[in-house]
Amino acid sequence: MHAIRIHETGSVEKMCVDEVPVPAPGLGEVRLRVEAAGVNFIDTYQRSGLYAVPLPHTLGLEAAGVVTAVGAGVTEFFVGDRVASVRVAGAYASEALAPAAHTVKLPEGFATRTAAALMLQGMTAHYLACDTFPLKAGDTALVHAGAGGVGLLLTQIAKLRGARVLATVGTDEKAALAREAGADAVCIYTRENFPEAVKAFTGGRGVDVAYDAIGKDTFDGTLASLRPRGMFVSYGNASGPVAPFAPLVLAQKGSLFFTRPTLAHYTLTTAELQARAGELLGWVTAGKLKVRIGATFPLAQAAEAHRALEGRRTTGKVLLLP
């Protein structure tokens, strides 16, 4: 079968289309025929070497498809089940393995591509809005990359919970998408100062929470956008990792809270994973949450998908179709 692998880290040119054996599921694993694989920034971090992985490495963590084999000890899934997972071992492939404990069965009629577009970014948005800083009616939130995959979902969930949202985006087209997702205000950061926009949005107070997936380029401005005792949630490094800083800065800026969460720590148990995914799937089924698939690429064009994502030329979710 075909798989997109790296034999050394670096630029997109390091990505190869390799012929590899179809994997056999081990204890507690399922094998799925990948119908759609999600492209995420974590994939680019692993490819570049920012996040270390053993080499050679098949990229991709997120996929949806059909179970083709089950390993020993698996009793909750059967061949033919339609499933999705964000713990896939090499999702950029025709077939891939996933731990059954971190796999979700899809509701009848739920589109496979929608599931692949929802799992990682949707569960990320869910834990950010529901657990890291549990938004409630009247709260104010700053959402960077408001037209990205997480940003669009995070804004919608924030609105479901009664919060007010200021989203930052880079273009007028992306601003329209953020407003469509429910953003109460939008700042086009390429021509506006977003901390000033935040002050105007909050009457000079600052937001209760800032969700920042950009990293080093927005760090100082995000700190300046928070109210006293507000929370800075740093969950990505699209522009590069945040530089080391002294904790005293948090005191000087208003006794702020800073956290760097990851999805793995918000899906520690199967019960937590199923509850989080189940609520998301239910919202989509009920029409309360819309999933935008901004672009699809054939598996062999995975490098171009990475170029588009890193070049901020995408909106919503990017998928690979084997």
List, in order, residues 6 or more apart from 194 with CB less than 8 Å away: 142, 168, 187, 218, 221, 225
The pLDDT profile of the chain, 322 residues, written as one tens digit per residue, is 999 999 999 999 999 999 999 999 999 999 999 999 999 999 999 999 999 999 999 999 999 999 999 999 999 999 999 999 999 999 999 999 999 999 999 999 999 999 999 999 999 999 999 999 999 999 999 999 999 999 999 999 999 999 999 999 999 999 999 999 999 999 999 999 999 999 999 999 999 999 999 999 999 999 999 999 999 999 999 899 999 999 999 999 999 999 999 999 999 999 999 999 999 999 999 999 999 999 999 999 999 999 999 998 888 999 999 9
At the second CATH level, the architecture of 2-119+291-321 is Alpha-Beta Complex (3.90)
- Parallel, antiparallel or unpaired: strands 57-58 and 2-6: antiparallel
pTM of this prediction exceeds 0.85: yes
Q: Where are the domains of the chain?
A: 2-119+291-321, 137-260
As assigned by CATH, the class of the 137-260 domain is alpha beta
Helix (H, G, I), strand (E, B) or coil at 255: coil
